[in-house]
Structure 1
Amino acid sequence: MAPHKKIAVVLKGYPRLSETFIAQELLGLEKAGHDLVLVALRRPTDGKRHPVHDEIRAAVHYLPEYLHEEPWRVCRALFQTVAKPGFWPALRQFFRDLLRDRTRNRFRRFGQALVLVAEWPEGADWLHAHFIHTPASVTAYASIIAGIPWTCSAHAKDIWTSPDWELSEKLGRARWTVTCTRNGYDHLQSLTREKSRVHLSYHGLDLDRFPSFEGSHSARGGSDPIDPVRIVSVGRAVAKKGYDVLLKALSSLPADLNWRFEHIGAGELTAELQALAGKLGLADRIRWHGALDQKDVLTHYREADIFALACRVAANGDRDGLPNVLVEASSQRLVCVSTAVAGVPELLDDGQNGLVVPAEDPRALALALERLIRDPELRRRLGAAAEQRVRAEFDHHSSVRQLSGLFESEWSRAP
């Protein structure tokens, strides 16, 4: 076995409540014996942390989020790196990229790369980027300047909002790239000749944090106004989550059905969605919780009857991969209804372990919700099948073993 290298993991932000799957992977790699240091492009904005964040031992280094906020730090990094043999090749690559992407963001990524190399984490001799858009840009420039190889994890938004030319070039420079859905894997494979360097690796779930639910979900059928069916959704209030579609579906449910909806998550569209709920006459049936930690989310899964998520492709191409919340809810025997977008059908088979409807179709979603509300036995059967699949096929230990194997295979060949 090749000796382990210390990995500098470049992240967009850390810690982030919406990226539990990354924190889970980092902890898994540490437990597998990997020495990590985390490099974040921005400081945390969430007011809470998941328990998993407190278990990760790796030190965290923060780069300047905006170069104008720390100009002396950036200038010092420039003076320290300009003499390095890799500086001029990196600068030439930067200008080639700038000709195709004339944005301030491009300057920011090069400046952050300079700071990363100038303030290099002690002992780090490998780079790994989480997300193939901005973190991989910083990582790729730093790799050229420092002469340190890099690898990459690609997910969802970063794939679908990046131009093909940039994805293709990054795939060619990284030693390997993993992605978490068959949908994303097929797209990345189509953009590179080095197909053996693109790998499919589902995130999976830390089942120790989501043990089997020993209780039972309710047999509510929507007929009792005092004890309504409980529908829950967990996700950021952003366009790709389709909460406007879900609200419209809820508003068209038959008047004789009694239900309550709870949303967990923060996001830029929260106020807009709350206003839409009021316009649709739903305000008194909805509770907006904001961001919650993993323990509280688990409690909501267990108390709910249905999990709903109306994933869509946003106008800018952004979309989910395989939303981890669907895996989490399924692990608790909570029946899920979602849409046939990206990686969702890789977990949910319509009518077998959940219900899957077309995206952007409030009517189809309403019919699926009505069916589940009225039929607690169907909820029980589909939820049990969903849990069985998650526990058989989505254990995160498998993905950690795969990543460890990829690192070690690469290191055994590295000079």
Structure 2
Amino acid sequence: MKIAFLVDQFPSVAETFVLNQIVGLIKLGHDVHVFASKSASNVEVHDGYKKYDLSKKTHYYRIPKNKILRILKAIFLIVKYAPTNCSVIFRSLNIFRYGKQAGSFSLLFMSIPLLERGPFDIIHSQFGTLGLTAMSLNQFLPYKGKLITSIRGYDVTVFLKKHPGAYHKLFREGDLFLPVCEFLKERLIQEGCEEKKIVVHHSGIDCSKFEYVQRQRVSGEPIKVLTIARLIEKKGVAFAIEAVSRLLSKGEKIDYSIVGDGVLREDLQQLIKSMGIERQVKLLGWKTHEAVKMLLEESHVLVAPSLTAESGDQEGIPNAIKEAMASGLPVISTFHSGIPELVTDGVSGLLVPERDAASLADALAYLISHPEICNEMGKAGRMQVEKRFDTNSLNKGLEELYLGLVQET
């Protein structure tokens, strides 16, 4: 099959799940192309990026920000492609049907790479917001690919809060919707999507790349706590910092490493400084995949204090939790979105209410004082991820979903 992936940024250190799907489908023998709005500065996020020469399979829209340059480039594209693809070019400019996307020439710029490299059997958008663009493109491209839309959190929480009913037409024209957890599936149904068009398809990780490590703590040494997250509100990192500070003030020995970056980094750094815990709590920024694996192997507990942001933004199921569980780490997280579908409270980790630093501190204190429980939880977590979240099994399942749609035509 020939498959088009529509993403916003590629490659992205925060979205290795997209790379996992692309590489997995290529391994299964499919011709996968990636269409993106912008590139990322860090391409060392997946060993498959270079191995499969994905730079040659990635196509950027390259829409000029400068209005004059955009108009000039649009005229060039119209002159170049209109003689052979008149219908596509002029329908992409239909402002009465497509509004701002047509008037800003966005659809024109987006349609050219898909036109040049099509036809595609599958057009798979990695977020609901991109599904709207894919729907418009599919209406005037000279071929009709099956429209698949992955739903990951923001796209049915914040976006729909700002734009109620925005997906109603997509629900009618889309062929399949793939929320990453049952929680998001229920949100889609509430918004009016037919249940028969919905299949929960988890984002997976390659378990073979994460070594299961049974931890042995050395008496008197600090417990190593780890968080891997974008530094944005819904990740709840400030509450984890407060929880660690509470335990440090009681004499517990903790080294807390936070991997990730984002708009809240400066605020979090100031919080750490105000609490006087700079020596024990470190913001490490983004790390390569190999460096993250090493940190997972060296740590004792992963803390993922996800919460619902003031904007309504919510998680699906964070991949960082899956990677930690695959490495044998017990997890402390929250009763948030799809996380309880991954972490079984009291079995593979501990779950606490959102925005509750005291409960986070209690959970961490419990694991510090019960090291034997940590290894039991780590083993249960590894088994859970291998059974339900291994990317190789999930990619084969995705392939079957694609084939089922293609064979319907």
Q: What is the TM-score when the length of structure 1 is the normalising length?
A: 0.88
**1:50 lines up with 2:49 in the alignment:** no
Counterpart pick for 1:298 among 293, 298, 302: 293
The equivalent position to 1:94 in structure 2, one of 88, 94, 98, is 98
Q: Work out whether residues 93 and 103 of structure 2, in 8 Å CA contact, stay in contact via their aligned partners in 1.
A: no
Mapped contact 1:159–1:167 kept (Cα < 8 A):
no
Q: 182-191 vs 116-125, which deviates more?
A: 116-125
Query: Which of 240, 244, 263 is the matching residue for 1:246?
Result: 240
Counterpart residue identity of residue 276, structure 2: G
* The one of 120, 143, 149 aligned to 1:152: 149
Aligned-pair distance for 1:55?
Answer: 3.0
Aligned 8 A contact 1:109 1:138 in 2: no
Displacement of 1:203 after TM fit?
1.7
Stretches of structure 1 that go unaligned for 5 or more consecutive residues are 96-105
Between 1:368-377 and 1:330-339, the stretch displaced more is 368-377
**How much does 1:355 deviate?**
0.3
- Residue in structure 2 matched with residue 103 of structure 1 by the alignment: none
> What does the per-residue CA deviation read over 1:197-226, in whole Å, with 9 as the maximum and x for residues that have no partner?
11101122212222433xx313256xx2xx
Pair 1:322–1:66, CA change in 2 (3 A): farther
The Cα shift of 1:110 comes to 6.4
Higher alpha-carbon deviation: 381-390 or 302-311: 381-390
**32 and 371 in structure 1: CA distance in 2 versus 1, 3 angstrom threshold:** same
1:306-385 alignment, distance < 5 Å: 306-385=301-380
Aligned pair in 2 of structure 1 residues 281, 386: CA closer, same or farther (>3 Å)?
same
Q: Aligned-pair distance for 1:413?
A: 2.1
CA contact (8 A) 2:94 2:102 kept: no
Shift of 1:140: 1.8
Larger deviation: 387-396 or 52-61? 52-61
- Match of 1:41? 37
Question: TM-score, structure 2 length as denominator?
Answer: 0.90
Question: In the TM superposition, what are the counterparts of 1:72-91 in structure 2 within 5 Å?
Answer: 72-77=72-77, 80=81, 83-84=86-87, 87=91, 91=95
Tell me how far apart the structure 2 counterparts of residues 406 and 57 of structure 1 sit (CA, whole Å).
26
Counterpart of 1:377, as a letter, is E
Code of the residue aligned with 1:60 in structure 2: it is T
The answer as to whether partners of 1:64 and 1:112 remain within 8 angstroms in 2 is: no
1:219 alignment partner AA: R
**Counterpart selection for 1:136 from 128, 131, 138:** 131
Q: Which of these residues, 56, 60, 63, is aligned with residue 61 of structure 2? A: 63
Cα distance in 2 between the residues matched to 1:350 and 1:267: 29
For 1:275, what is the secondary structure of its paired residue?
A: helix
1:185 CA displacement: 1.0
Using the TM superposition, name which of 178-187 and 251-260 deviates more. Answer: 251-260
Give the drift of 1:168: 2.7
* Mapped partners of 1:339, 1:66: distance in 2: 42
Which piece of structure 1 moves more, 295-304 or 160-169? 160-169
**Length, aligned pairs only:** 393
Question: What is the RMSD of the two structures over their aligned residues, measured on CA atoms?
Answer: 2.2
Matched with 1:204 is 204
Distance 2:102 2:304 in 1: 35
Match of 1:407 among 381, 402, 409: 402
| Unpaired runs of at least 5, structure 2 | none
* SS state at 2:207 partner: coil
Q: Is the 8 A contact 2:92 2:107 kept in 1?
A: no
Secondary structure, counterpart of 1:308 in structure 2:
strand
Aligned-residue offset at 1:45: 3.6
Tell me which amino acid in the other structure corresponds to 1:23: L
User: What are the superposed Cα offsets for residues 325-371 of structure 1, whole Å, 9 maximum, x if unpaired?
Assistant: 10100011111100111111001111111000000111111111111
On the 8 A contact 1:7/1:124 being kept in 2, the answer is: no
Q: Render the CA deviation track for 1:120-169: whole Å, top value 9, x for unaligned.
A: 24243242211111x22321221112153322112111221222411232
Q: Which amino acid aligns with 2:234?
A: K
Q: How does 1:85-234 map to 2 (within 5 A)?
A: 87=91, 91-95=95-99, 107=101, 111-119=105-113, 120-126=115-121, 127-133=123-129, 135-147=130-142, 148-149=144-145, 150-163=147-160, 164-213=164-213, 216-220=214-218, 224=220, 227-234=221-228
The question of whether the paired residues in 1 share the 8 Å contact of 2:154 and 2:315 is answered with: yes
**Contact 2:344–2:350, Cα closer than 8 Å, also in 1:** yes
**Identity percentage over the alignment?**
21
SS at match of 1:165: coil
Correspondence for 1:99: none
Distance 1:88 1:234, change over 3 A: closer
User: 2 CA distance for matches of 1:188 and 1:219?
Assistant: 45
The aligned residue for residue 282 of structure 2 is 287
Where does residue 5 of structure 2 map in the other structure? 9
